[in-house]
Amino acid sequence: MAEARQQTARSVIGSFALIAGVVAFAAAAFAYTAGWFSPDRLTPHRLVDAFTPQGGEPPLGHRRNHAKGICFTGIFESNGAGSELSRAGAFAQGQYPVLGRFNLGTPNPNAPDATVRVRGIGLSISTPDGQEWRMALINPPFFAVSTPQAFYELLVASGSKDPNAMPTFAKANPEIAKFGEWAKSAPWTGSYAEERFNSLDAFVFTDNSGAEHAVRWSLLPAAQPLAVSPDELAKRGPDFLEQEITERIRGGPARWTMQVTVANPGDQTADPTQAWPQDRRTVDVGMLVVQQIEAEPDGPCRDINFDPTVLPSGIRTSDDPFPAARSAAYARSYDLRTSEAKDYPRTAPGASQ
């Protein structure tokens, strides 16, 4: 009897050890999945934090990048030609409401307009099937780096006080030189309405037959671009772009043709630093018509995340790694800025959301 009781005591200790082991293993697996054992993992937190150089203040309440911008509303006039490439509702002939944002590629919401090389546009096209197509395009014809990891390293290098940081980065990522060349030589314009905006990332369209087409797309301005030197632009004041587009659209809408470029079989889709050859087929699928400008603090684009992976059926991401990284980082930026709304007050009476 005593022996039996002893055995039971021993097996009870074993049982408790087993229970503790199961719980510890599950907790460790959870922590591992969360990245708590992987301090080197490039998380959305680290990527977004890299926009703020060490010791710097993040733009509280604002987007962590492309922080300066202005809202607009308008329509997308689809001509129906895109239907051969994708079954997305936005390509069926018709007019669809658009919400968007012109912006500057800077983490500083107060940057003088003439100091920011990259200009961008965020768009959301809503269709009657309840779906949305969001995108964020910029004006360079190709991207600066080939991978999200390299983009993170670029942010770290350009925020570094070490004079060798950028040269070291450029040696390891030679594709940046081409972007530097563009930044130096491409003409500047005096208006968002004169900019060509490009998706750069490749996506995959699926047509009604189920066939897939690798594509990129651009918004081609109807307004004739007029080159203006940055020195000349600087004289127009720190916010000339917002003032100019507000004035211009008060006088009538601004337009862009949406042009889809279709890859040839075998064209790479993973690297947005590599533009496809000029002779690839293009399809003009419709017209973006910007009808009204609204300041950002109370504007409808303020709390919209122009996440390029919010896609309707008929469009999906390709093997380009950037849309996923952008989606993760944009979400982090969104979560931060919406929690900091008090640092970016709304101005309209009663706007207290």
Partner 1 sequence: MNGVQRFTPLQRLLHWVLAICILAMLFIGVGMVSSIEPKYLTLVSIHKPLGMAILVLALIRLVVRLRYGAPPLPADLPEPMKLAAHLSHYALYALMIALPLIGWGMLSAAAYPVKIWGGVTLPAILPQSDSLHTALWNAHFYLAFVFFALILMHVAAALFHALVRRDGVFDSMGPALTRE
CA distance 36 to 32: 6
Half-sphere exposure of 187 (CA within 13 A, CB side): 11
Q: Is 62 left (phi over 0), alpha (psi -120 to 50) or beta?
A: beta
Q: Is 268 in the site for partner 1 (CB under 8 A)?
A: no
Burial class (CB within 10 angstroms; exposed 0-12, middle 13-18, buried 19+) of 345: exposed
Q: Is 44 in the site for partner 1 (CB under 8 A)?
A: yes
C-beta separation of 114 from 230 below 8 A: yes
CA 165 to chain centre: 25
Q: Is 58 in the site for partner 1 (CB under 8 A)?
A: no
Q: Is 237 in the site for partner 1 (CB under 8 A)?
A: no
Task: Give me the 124-153 binding string for partner 1, x by CB under 8 A, dash otherwise.
Answer: -----xxxx---------------x-----
Q: Is 339 in the site for partner 1 (CB under 8 A)?
A: yes
Least gap, CB of 113 to partner 1 (angstroms): 26
| 26 versus 177: smaller Cβ distance to partner 1 | 26
CB-based contacts of 216: which residues, under 8 Å, 6+ apart? 198, 199, 200, 201, 202, 203, 260, 261, 263, 276
C-beta separation of 228 from 342 below 8 A: no
| 42 versus 92: smaller Cβ distance to partner 1 | 42
Secondary structure (DSSP) of 12-25: HHHHHHHHHHHHHH
3-state secondary structure 111-142: CCHHHCCCEEEEEEEECCCCCEEEEEEECCCC
DSSP β-ladder status, 203-206 and 254-262: unpaired
Query: Of the ranges 18-26, 106-114, 167-175, 288-296, which one interacts with partner 1 (CB under 8 A)?
Result: 18-26
Instruction: Give the one residue of 6, 7, 10, 15 binding partner 1; rule: CB under 8 A.
Output: 15
Q: Is 6 in the site for partner 1 (CB under 8 A)?
A: no
Tell me the site size for partner 1, rule CB under 8 A.
48
Query: Of the ranges 25-33, 161-169, 241-249, 257-265, which one interacts with partner 1 (CB under 8 A)?
Result: 25-33
Least gap, CB of 177 to partner 1 (angstroms): 25
| 18 versus 177: smaller Cβ distance to partner 1 | 18
Least gap, CB of 274 to partner 1 (angstroms): 18
Q: Is 348 in the site for partner 1 (CB under 8 A)?
A: no
Which residues here bind partner 1, judged by CB under 8 A?
12, 15-16, 18-19, 22-23, 26-27, 29-30, 33-35, 41-45, 47, 129-132, 148, 303-305, 307, 309-310, 312-313, 317, 319, 321, 323-325, 327-329, 334-335, 338-339, 341, 353
